[in-house]
Amino acid sequence: MINNNTLVIKDENGNDKEYEIIAKISSKENKKDYIVFTENELDADGFIITYAYIMNPNKKDNNLYPINSDEEYEFIEKLLANLDNKINEE
C-alpha cells in the first residue's frame, strides 16, 4: 500500500513494515514504472540500503515485481545518481 511518501509491505510473518519512498520512475523507453524505497538502514560500508521494484503498470493492484535485467538496474542507478547530484548541488 502506498500513502504519500510511505510504502507499507507485509513481511514474511505478516507484519506491516514501513519504507520511505525515494522515487517513482516511469520509463517511456520500456513502458514500465519503478519504485525505489528504503528503510533508512545502512549497509556495512555506510551507504543507505535501497530497494527497487517494478510497479504494476496498469495500477489495478499494488503488487511489486522484481527487476530482472542489468539494463533496468543501470537505468535506475543512473537516475538515482542524477537525483543525488541535484540534491548535493542545493
pLDDT in tens, the chain (90 residues): 667 788 988 889 999 999 999 988 888 888 889 999 999 999 999 988 999 999 875 666 778 899 989 999 898 888 888 877 777 776
- Give CA separation, 32 vs 6, 8, 29, 75, 84, in Å: 21, 21, 8, 12, 22
Residue closest to 53 by CA, chosen among 74, 71, 68: 68
Question: Quick one: pLDDT at residue 59?
Answer: 66
The residues spanned by each domain of the chain are 2-89
Q: Which helix (H) or strand (E) holds 71?
A: helix 70-89
> DSSP 3-state assignment of 60?
coil
Which pLDDT value is given to residue 52? 93
The pLDDT assigned to 90 comes to 66
CA–CA distances in Å: residue 63 to residues 6, 16, 33, 74: 15, 15, 12, 22
